[in-house]
Amino acid sequence: MEKVIIVRYGEIGIKSYWVRREFEKRLVDNIPRALLENKIELEKIWQSGARTYIWCKPINKALKVLKNVFGVVSYSLAYVIKTDLNEMKKFALKLYKKSGKKKFRISTRRIYKKFPLTSMQVSAEVGAYVIDKTEAKVDLTRYDINICFEITKNRTFVFSDFYKGWGGLPIGTQGKVLCVLSDKKESLFNAWLMARRGCEIVLAGKNKRSFAKKFEKKYYYFEEELSYYDLTDFSIEKIIEIAKREGAKAIVVDNSRINVFEGKTDLIVFYPSLGYSPQQIRKIWKELDFD
C-alpha cells in the first residue's frame, strides 16, 4: 500500500503571508537535502497549506532523519487511500484491529470542503462502524489509539502515530552568525540553538572540528556548507575579523564571556543559553548525542 510522510510546521504558520511562503519554500528545500545526505531516495515532495507530503524510500530511515530538520514540529507515517467513506471505514477497522488497543478515537481534517460530510460526521460514521464490528470503546480524551483522516479531493491520508521534531525555523531564513566554540558544552549548545532559530552558522574554535563535522552531518541541512575556523587562542580581534569576513550579523558566545565584546564591535553579541539552566542543557545535550 502507498505510504507517505506528512510533515507539519509550527511557528512558520504565524508569519505574514509572503514571509510564510518564503519560509515554507526554505523548508521544502532543506528537507530533500537532509534525505539525500542520509542516502534516502526522494521520489516526490509536495507542499500544501501547513503540510508537506514526502514520498521516499527507505521510509523508516526518513522518520529518524526528519526529527533533526529545523522547522519540523511533528510528522506522521500515513497510508494513502481513496476519498471514499466506505474505504475509510474499512481502513479504520483494519488499523484498530492491528493495533491491539482498547479505547480509540477518530479525528478528521477535511481539507476538501466539498466532501459531502463534515469532519465531525465522518468521525462519527467511521467510529460507529468500528464499534459495530468490534464492540470497541470510544474515549475522546484518554484513548489508546487516535486514528486520523486528512481528506483531500482524490485521496485521503490515514495515520495514527505522531513523531516530534525539534521545531524552530528552517536554516537560512535568518541571518548569518559566528558561533565561538569553547571547551564548555554550553558554547556547542549555543550553536545548535542558533541553527534551530534558522540562522546560517559559521563555527570558530580550538580543536572542535570533530564537533563541526557531527553537527553538519546531523543537523545542518542547508545549501551552503558549514564554515569552520580553527582558533589556536581566543582573540577578540581575530573573532571580529572572521565575523566581518564571513558577513555575519552577530557573534555568539557562552555566558562566561558576557561583556567581553562590549565597546569593541558594532556587531550584535548573543548568549542563547542564558535562559537555560545547567540541568536543562544537560538534558537536551544527552538527546542530541554529540559525545
Sequence spans of domains, the chain: 3-80, 84-153, 176-288
**How far, rounded to the nearest angstrom, does the alpha carbon of residue 162 sit from its chain's CA centroid?**
12
Whether the pLDDT of residue 169 is over 80: the answer is yes
Task: Report the alpha-carbon distance of residue 137 to residue 244 in Å, rounded.
Answer: 63
Contact 198, 169 (CB under 8 A): yes
Q: Report the pLDDT value the prediction gives residue 290, as an integer from 0 to 100.
A: 74
Q: Report the pLDDT value the prediction gives residue 1, as an integer from 0 to 100.
A: 81
Whether the pLDDT of residue 291 is over 70: the answer is no
Could you read off the pLDDT of 196-252 as tens digits, one per residue?
A: 999 999 999 988 898 999 999 999 999 999 999 998 888 899 999 999 999 999 999
Q: Report the pLDDT value the prediction gives residue 207, as an integer from 0 to 100.
A: 87
The dihedral through the CA atoms of 218, 48, 88, 142 has a sign that is: positive
* The listed CATH number (3.40.1160.10, 3.30.390.30, 3.30.70.1510, 3.40.50.720) that belongs to domain 3-80: 3.30.70.1510
Q: What angle do CA 25, 28, 31 make, to 5 degrees?
A: 145
Could you read off the pLDDT of 272-282 as tens digits, one per residue?
A: 998 899 899 88
Q: Is 15 helix (H, G, I), strand (E, B) or coil?
A: coil
CATH of domain 176-288: 3.40.50.620
Whether the pLDDT of residue 3 is over 90: the answer is yes
Task: Report CA-CA distances (Å) from 209 to 178, 227, 231.
Answer: 15, 10, 10
Whether the pLDDT of residue 267 is over 80: the answer is yes
Q: Report the pLDDT value the prediction gives residue 48, as an integer from 0 to 100.
A: 87
Could you read off the pLDDT of 77-124 as tens digits, one per residue?
A: 999 999 999 999 999 999 999 988 889 999 999 999 999 999 999 999
Average pLDDT for 114-143: 94
121-129, long-range: CB < 8 A, 24+ apart: 122/85, 122/88, 122/149, 122/151, 123/149, 125/85, 125/89, 126/85, 126/88, 126/89, 126/92, 127/92, 129/89, 129/92, 129/93
> Domain 84-153 has what CATH class?
alpha beta
For residue 8, the one-letter residue type is: R
Task: Report the alpha-carbon distance of residue 285 to residue 188 in Å, rounded.
Answer: 9
List alpha helices for the chain, DSSP H: 17-37, 59-65, 85-99, 119-134, 185-196, 209-218, 236-246, 278-288
Average pLDDT of the chain, as a whole number: 93
User: What DSSP designation does 274 have?
Assistant: G
Whether the pLDDT of residue 259 is over 90: the answer is no
For residue 120, the one-letter residue type is: M
